[in-house]
């Protein structure tokens, strides 16, 4: 399988965590979201993912899957263990709710294409855009703080889909100066995730294209 990836993408980060947790090997192809006006907008990539977003997962038969949570659902079916969706239906629903609060409500509002529209089409200043990012990231953290029950991961002794979504959101929030001080549950879970090898392997700083981006113009 081939993963179209970008080191700082929260959605791609989720999929990297899931792949690492499940031990599923993939090849990587990096799609630089800022280079040359955005490689994700090039026709060759749009033919793979018409939304022009990362990640995308190309299967051996040429089928391309898009949207991080849909890809993770596929991986859950392909490699059921370790489970990312708890067996208990209530715990499963709660894990999905926390994941969706991040992936569907908080994260999209700080997405590159939203931020670009604010700047380029609506003429918002860098300061206004930073305030926007911090506002929506903080609202997401507030909701998840109330939803999760550290045990020591969000709901269980092992990572679930909630942790897979939370770790990238924590990285994003801290990158833009959002303090985790008001969120003790999230701080506790984030600390446990940071010590887990799968989360370490998936971290943006550990990706080959992070070094390439740092060395570039």
CA distance 141 to 129: 18
Q: Cβ atoms within 10 A of the Cβ of 208, count?
A: 11
180 with 186: CB under 8 angstroms? yes
Q: For residue 143, with 0-12 CB atoms within 10 Å meaning exposed, 13-18 middle and 19 or more buried, which class applies?
A: middle
Confidence of residue 212 (pLDDT cuts 50, 70, 90): confident
Percentage of residues of the chain with pLDDT beyond 90: 95
Whose tokens are 């799609």? That residue is: 31
Mean pLDDT calculated for residue range 68-89 = 97
Does the pLDDT value for residue 217 go beyond 90? no
Mean pLDDT calculated for residue range 28-33 = 95
Please tell me the CATH superfamily of domain 2-81, with its number. Glutaredoxin (3.40.30.10)
The beta-strand segments (E) located in 31-165 are 56-58, 64-66
| CATH 1.20.1050.10 domain extents, the chain | 89-201
Does the pLDDT value for residue 20 go beyond 50? yes
58 pairs with which residues across the strands? 2, 64
169 with 176: CB under 8 angstroms? no
Three-state SS at 96:
helix
Q: What is the CATH number of domain 89-201?
A: 1.20.1050.10
| CATH 3.40.30.10 domain extents, the chain | 2-81
């Amino acid at each position: 399988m081939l993963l179209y990836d970008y080191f700082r993408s929260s959605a791609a980060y989720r999929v990297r965590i899931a792949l690492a947790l499940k031990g599923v090997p993939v090849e990587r192809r990096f799609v630089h979201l800022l280079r040359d006006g955005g490689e994700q907008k090039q026709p060759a990539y749009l033919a793979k993912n018409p939304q022009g977003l990362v990640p995308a997962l190309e299967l051996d038969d040429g089928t391309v899957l898009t949207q991080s949570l849909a890809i993770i659902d596929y991986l859950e079916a392909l490699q059921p263990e370790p489970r990312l969706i708890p067996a208990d239906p209530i715990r499963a629903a709660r894990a999905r709710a926390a994941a969706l609060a991040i992936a569907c409500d908080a994260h999209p509002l700080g997405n590159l294409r939203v931020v670009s529209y604010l700047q380029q089409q609506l003429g918002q200043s860098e300061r206004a855009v930073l305030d926007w990012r911090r506002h929506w990231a903080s609202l997401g953290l507030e909701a998840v703080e109330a939803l999760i029950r550290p045990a020591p991961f969000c709901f269980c002794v092992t990572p679930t889909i909630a942790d897979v979504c939370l770790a990238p959101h924590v990285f994003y929030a801290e990158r833009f100066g959002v303090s985790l001080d008001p969120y003790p549950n999230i701080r506790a879970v984030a600390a446990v995730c940071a010590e887990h090898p799968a989360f370490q392997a998936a971290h943006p700083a550990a990706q080959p294209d992070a070094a390439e981006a740092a060395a570039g113009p």
